[in-house]
Chains A and B, each alone.
Chain A
């Protein structure tokens, strides 16, 4: 165990109590412990391998739903909600759900400490939302300029 994280302790070396505790904490955190439940504990797995297959099943299920909806395109989901078709909102939400499970279980974000998780996830989410808001707002504005007749496009 000690070797696997690169801390080599000579046999006769005396370790101060505080350092000893710290090393223990580091070892515990770095010893590849996996949280083995998803859906907030609703689905528990016996081993990490079982969890991987479970998540695969879930991701495949979502992809099948997406493709089925994309092919059928039910009329009832064609209504508009916040400027976009309900169907498109469903696609985007399902995509984010998929992204969550890929990051949390395949990339082991679930097992990282809170600080690292927030550094990565919050930074990215904040900047991406900001960018999307600005660009889509601007695109929509230019569309109104085109469609309200100042620019002729159909020729």
Chain B
């Protein structure tokens, strides 16, 4: 009772009874998940490109934003820290691929060590990213946002940034925080800015060496610095709010969109790293417990390895588009 029909394609790659892609179901599905996730990230990065092209003449210059290095306060170190982060992630990719290789040789001890190192690398990376966020949110110099939502920064004659705290004339007791118990009960007021516009205006007038720098990029690729008269005029006429650091509404370094995309894209990537670390930890314990030894295959390590490398791959692009280009 043989019901098989000869089709003449037996023995060919796609003739059936074969695995044409020579990959297991799980691995293939991990690849297809990676394709779809890559498209999600490209969507975000392309949207970033869109906004950047839209504001090409006023986009923040990354070198001036990410200049900090842990334990080196006040030292200008553009990019060194993020280069370090990139290296950590590539290094943890290497330990991951070494774990996969050890798995092919059914070497449990080596897989354990390499998985452990991969997890450590991932934790260092997520920690670094948290530090980077913290520095960006806190800000350093402070700036003034104008009525039109542009940013005015302050520089000295040599073009170095000047902190608002260094020249603003502080007056006391001019403005009380509105609370529902001392005013309208149904209205809330967010935290008051550290300096009022009057304090900054008076401070600028009293410090002849301080100039205003707008966010417009000139032909030399630098931000435009206004003359002394223009500085005073611009700040007085258009200055509206003191901002320090960055959040989803304001950004002392320039366009708030820059901060929005930074938080969203590095946040989404950081979330991927975090879930990668958690999955790696689960696999690490499975390795220790001998699950894959009993299964006689370490393919699971290979699958999470694919995910982990993908996270590294995305970071390479985020690094380029946020910090280099």
Residues of A bordering B, CB below 8 Å: 3-6, 18-19, 21-22, 25-26, 29-30, 32, 48-49, 52-53, 56, 59-60, 63, 66-67, 70-71, 78, 88, 91-92, 95, 98-99, 102-103, 105-108, 112-113, 115-116, 119-120, 123-124, 127-128, 131-132, 135-136, 138-140, 142-143, 146-147, 152-155
Q: Is B285 an interface residue (CB 8 A)?
A: no
Query: Are A112 and B23 CB-contacts (below 8 A) given A135-B47, A139-B51?
Result: yes
Question: How many chain B residues touch the partner (CB < 8 A)?
Answer: 69
Given contacts A102-B316, A124-B38, A143-B55, contact A91 B11 (CB under 8 A): no
Q: At the interface, is chain A mostly helix, strand, loop or mixed?
A: helix
Please tell me if B233 contacts chain A, counting CB pairs below 8 Å: no
Does B174 sit at the interface, judged by CB under 8 A? no
Contact B23 A116 (CB under 8 A): yes
**Which positions 47-82 of chain B face chain A at CB distance < 8 Å?**
47, 49-57, 63, 78-80
Which listed residue, A48, A106, A131, A154, touches B43 by the CB 8 Å rule? A131
The answer to whether A128 touches B42, judged by C-beta atoms less than 8 angstroms apart, is yes
Given contacts A71-B78, A91-B325, A32 and B104 within 8 Å (CB-CB) = yes
In the bound complex, how far is the Cα of B96 from the Cα of A102, in angstroms? 12
Which B residues touch A4, using CB under 8 A?
A: 296-297
Contact of B101 among A3, A52, A67, A131 (CB under 8 A): A52
CB-defined A-B contacts under 8 Å, sample of 5:
A63-B87, A63-B90, A124-B42, A139-B54, A143-B54
**A128 CA to B39 CA, complexed, in Å:** 7
Residues of A within 8 A of B101 (CB): 48-49, 52
The A/B interface has a contact count, at CB < 8 Å, of 161
CA distance A140 to B51 in the complex (A): 9
Nearest-Cβ distance from residue B132 to partner chain A, whole angstroms: 16
| Assembly CA distance A71 to B300 (angstroms) | 41
Residues of A near B179 (CB, < 8 A) are none
B interface list, Cβ under 8 A from A: 10-11, 17-23, 28, 31-32, 34-35, 38-39, 42-43, 46-47, 49-57, 63, 78-80, 83, 86-87, 90-91, 93-94, 96-98, 100-101, 104, 146-148, 150, 214, 216, 221, 238, 296-297, 305-306, 309-310, 312-313, 316-317, 319-320, 323-325
**A134 → B minimal CB distance (Å):** 8
A71 to B23 Cα, complex, angstroms = 43
Q: How far does the Cβ of A68 sit from chain B's closest Cβ, in whole Å?
A: 10
How many angstroms from the CA of A63 to the CA of B97 in the assembled complex?
A: 19
Choose one: A70, A135, A143; the contact of B324 (CB below 8 Å): A70
In the complex, residue of chain B having the shortest beta-carbon distance to the beta carbon of A127: B39
Distance, CA A25 to CA B22, complexed state (A): 9
